[in-house]
Every structure is written in C-alpha cells, then in structure tokens.
Structure 1
Amino acid sequence: MAEQQTSTEYILHHLTHNRLHSEGAMANFHLDTFWVGLILGFIFVGIFGLVARKATDGVPGKLQNFVELIVEMVDTHIKDTFHGKSKVIGPLALTIFCWVFLMNAMDFFPVDLFPMIAQWVGVTFFGADPHHVYLRVVPTADVNQTFAMSLSVLVYIIGFSIKAKGLGGWIKELFTAPFHAEGTVGKVALLIPNFLFQLIELIAKPISLALRLFGNMYAGELLFILIALLPWWINWVLGTPWAIFHVLVVTLQAYVFMVLTIVYLSMAVEDH
C-alpha cells in the first residue's frame, strides 16, 4: 500500500479514523475505536470468565496460572494503596489493567495488516474506494477513548468520595480544603480559593490520565508507521528493537493507568 501512495498520503491514511459521519457532531464518533475496544473488552471478559468457571484447586494450567498472577498483582497494589473498603475497586482495577493492555497491544500487529483487510472487505463486498476505507486498530491512540476512560474514573472518584463522606461532607470538603483558617472571617475568605483548587485538582486528574496514555500510544503508533515506510531490508532492523521496547511501553502504560486510578480513589475516600 505504501508503494501506491506518497509518504504523506500513507501516513495520513493510517492516522485517519473510520468515522460514523464525515461532518457534524457525529464526525467525532470513531467506529474503529468503538468496535475494536468493544471486541477486546469481550475477549477479556470471555477469557477470565472461562478461567473462573474451570478453575481448580489442583494443579492449575498455564492459563489459570497466568490469570492468577495478574489477579494477585492487582490485589497486592490495592492492599498497599487503597485504604478504604469497596467491592468495586478490585474488579475495576483488574478491568482497567487488562483492557488497556489489550488495546495497547494492538500496536504489535503490522501497521498494514488490518487496514488492507478492511480495504479488501470494502472493495469486495461494498464496492468502496480503497483510498477512502480507513481503520485504526489501537483504541488508546485515540484521544476520544482515553478521555472517555479518564472521565469514567472521575465519576468513580466523585462517587467514592460521596459514599465515604456523604454528600454534605463532600461539598463541605470542596470549600474547606486544602487551606484552613481560624475564625469565621478567615474561613469565609478561603471558600473560593479552596473551591478553585479542588476544581483544578478534579480536572487535572482525568486530563493527566487521558493525555499520558494517548501521547505514549499515539507516538508508538506513529513510529511504527514511519518504520513501515522504510525499505524492507532495513525495516526489520529498526522495527524489531522498537517492537521489543514497545512491549515495556504497552505494559507500563496499562499499569500506570491502573495504579493512578487506585491512588485517586484512595484519596477520594480519605479525609483532608
């Protein structure tokens, strides 16, 4: 596909999403991000559900061992970081780590593989123009996906805080922390600054979560695309080391997203 296009066209084609509509508000709804993320979510649920149903107290198989290793890792971090009590935090942290890892791991597939399959399907069954068939298969390289996940975490942060402190306690904390003062005049004077700092903190958490994951995965996807433009005899020389290093990036970004979520939820249930 690279030989039929200029380098710029090739890069732009690989960085263009399959959109619901080309114009209007729905142009920001990316079908490829939605469906790839949904399918990977079902794969995660299916594998873990299968292992849970077939779990044995005897000698476990390799898949059960692998799943138990992940669960123990997540459970250890929760016990070390989260100081409240919640039945949600465990499944939530496990889902975040595994789902984000699977979405990140789509970057390991050759950059032309799925776009070429999509073009073949579009041309063969729908008579589409191959140059207008787009498919990006790394959902976390889409800022819409990372912001959707981070905003979901923000909802959990507010929900955990209200559950732990009550609605009145949470609202009171918005206006009385992080600064304290003696006397009525001092307390009233700090209401607005405290609220502004609390608002900045709430906004900063989802933004940092979303942009950290998006930036790393977008950069990784773009590097793979640029490497694919190189001649075949040097392509694998640069691509192989980067793919090996990217294993660390993919895993680390899923781990960081999970750990920060646990930390933020732990902060939400603690009193200032």
Structure 2
Amino acid sequence: MSGSSSQGYISHHLHFLQVDLRDLSVVDSVKPVSSQEFDACVSSGSSHEQCLTTVAVEKCKLFDLGSGVCYSSHNESKESQIVNPYTLNLDSLGISIVLGFLFLWLFRRAVKKSTSGVPSKAQCFIEMIMEFVQNTVTSIFKRKSKLIAPLALTVFMWIFFMNLMDLLPIDLIPELAKKLGVPYFRVVPSADVNVTLSMAFCIFLLIFAFSFKNIGVKGFTKSLTLHPFHHWAFIPVNLLLEGVSLLSKPISLGLRLFGNMYAGEMIFILIALLPLWWIQWTLNVPWALFHILIVTLQAFIFMVLTIVYLSMASEED
C-alpha cells in the first residue's frame, strides 16, 4: 500500500461520525447535487473519489445518513478538531448508550434468573464480578454508602464493554456502515477523548458531592486553603497546590484511559496495513490476546481510582 493510501486509510479509520449541530451536516462528508450526473461519471469507469471532484457536491445532512448518497470527503492535510463544542460524535455516543443498556440488560436478566439452588454458569460469572467489585470497594472505601458499590460496578463493566469493542476486526463495522450509507464509523468509544473526559468529569462532580456531604462546604474550603500549610499567610500557596492536585484527578483519569485505548486501536490499524495476510494474522492474534489484558486492566484502574478519589473526598481530616 502506498504512502498516500496508507495515510488515507489511517485517517478514515480515525475519523468520527461527527454532526455539526449548527446546520446538522455530517463533518467531512458530501453528496452529489445531481445523482444522475454522479452515476453517469461512475459508469464511465471513474472511481467515486474522482467523480466527487468533477461533479457538483454539497454537504451531507444528518437525515441523509443511511440513504447511500453520503461519501467521505476527508482532507488529511486539514484534520478536523478532536474537541469541538459545535460537533457531536454520533458513533461514540450511540455505541456508549447501546453498551450501557447491554450491561443493564445482562445483569438484570442474570438477577431475574438467579436461584438459591445450583447456580447456572452465567449466574456464577455475574456473582464473581459483583463479589470482586464489592471486595475492592470495602478494602478502599471505609464509610457506608449505598452509591459507591453500584457506581464502581457500573464504571467497571461499562468501560470494559467499551474497551472490548477494540477486539472486533478493524474493518468489520466501518465497512458495514459504509455499505449502509454511513461514511465514517468508529467502534471504540473509550478511544474518544470526549467520552473519557466526560466520564472523568462526572467523577469530578461526585468528588464535590461527597466532600460537601461529609465535611461540608466550609470544611472543603479549608481543605483547599489551609492544607498542607496550616496558616492564613499560605492560603494562596495552598490554593494553588491543592487546586492543581484537584484538577489533575479528572484530567489524568480521562487521558489515561483514552491514551491506552487510542494506542491499542492505532496498533490494530497499523497491523491491517501490512502487505500479506499471514503477517497480519501472525501479529494480530498475539496483540489481540495481550490487548484483552489491557482492556480489563484499564477498566479496573478507572474503577479503583474512582473509589480512591471518592474515599479521599469522604475523609473528615
């Protein structure tokens, strides 16, 4: 594969299905103004990419997705912004919601089918996960809370399911989406920095909630202004040190998950660019097996740090 085509392959797989909320257009996607003119160009032997440069095109709209008229028009020299307040990543958001409901359905189904007699394999597996999460919570979080254990279980399983999408064949879902008229589609929500930082921001808000509940607003203010130097003259220094420490928690929490999953996805893409299929399988299978560990470990780390941060926010000292 040539350098330009390799760059186009990588750029296409790293492009989100983004919708511009200002005009509901699909970012970096166009459709021919005249379908007859475009079909005639394709029938003459030209490729879709060549025809899109010769016929008149316009922005593809949200309601055009799935109709087969949208084509990618991604310029590698002008990358779209990763974080943009005017765009919405439909693929990351949609898959996250689907995986969240899948988690709820699987656990609800297992609980409904649970029995006091000989448990099924599915029940044993679910009970093993819940016991593992519960033991992790009790070993870190020393206070009583009805929220922390369900929150830890949700964080662990939801992120695990998101990460698990990285083990699907790299071209499977994007190619199926292209056949359905969707020009771009990424299947790993945790490789989207918007998703990981949003989850970390929710944990950040819970830190405030746990702090206000256990030590009050006055106590929380004192923890920022009178620690580590317990003197009014050091309030600006304390506020700077504790403010940086507080803000670094959600940023590091979100970027750690994003960085690991983005790197794993990129390695799968690079393996798919190799010329021979047997070389791809030789490298792909070991990396996929090793990636199972990364998928589980990153979900576990996010869960543990969530418990630790909320435990620190609950300390009266």
TM-score, normalized by the shorter chain, greater than 0.5 = yes
Aligned mates of 2:241, 2:144 — CA distance in 1? 27
Q: Where do residues 1-150 of structure 1 align in structure 2 (5 Å cutoff)?
A: 6-21=5-20, 22=27, 25-122=84-181, 133-150=183-200
Aligned mates of 1:73, 1:98 — CA distance in 2? 12
Q: CA RMSD in A?
A: 1.6
Percentage of matched positions with identical amino acids? 49
Aligned mates of 1:138, 1:178 — CA distance in 2? 41
Q: Which runs of 5+ in 2 are unaligned?
A: 21-26, 28-79
**In the alignment, which residue of structure 1 is the partner of 2:58?**
none
Q: Give the letter for the 2:189 counterpart.
A: P
1:204 pairs, out of 229, 248, 253, with 248
Kindly indicate whether the alpha-carbon contact (under 8 Å) linking 2:214 and 2:316 is maintained by their aligned counterparts in 1. no
1:224 aligns to 2:268 (yes or no): yes
**3-state SS of paired residue (2:15):** coil
1:153 aligns to 2:152 (yes or no): no
Q: CA deviation at 1:172?
A: 2.0
TM-score after normalising by structure 1: 0.90
Q: CA deviation at 1:196?
A: 1.4
Q: Which moved more, 1:166-175 or 1:208-217?
A: 166-175
Q: Which runs of 5+ in 1 are unaligned?
A: 123-127, 181-186
Q: Give the letter for the 1:13 counterpart.
A: H
**3-state SS of paired residue (1:134):** coil
Structure with greater helix percent:
1
Q: Give the letter for the 1:263 counterpart.
A: V
Q: Give the letter for the 1:96 counterpart.
A: V
Aligned mates of 2:166, 2:249 — CA distance in 1? 26
Aligned mates of 1:59, 1:158 — CA distance in 2? 44
2:306 pairs, out of 255, 261, 271, with 261
Name which structure has the greater RCO, CA cutoff 8 Å, separation 6+. Answer: 1
Q: Which has the larger radius of gyration?
A: 2
Q: CA deviation at 1:26?
A: 4.9
Deviations 1:193-224 (A, max 9, x none): 11111211111000111111001000000000
Q: Which moved more, 1:91-100 or 1:169-178?
A: 169-178
TM-score after normalising by structure 2: 0.78
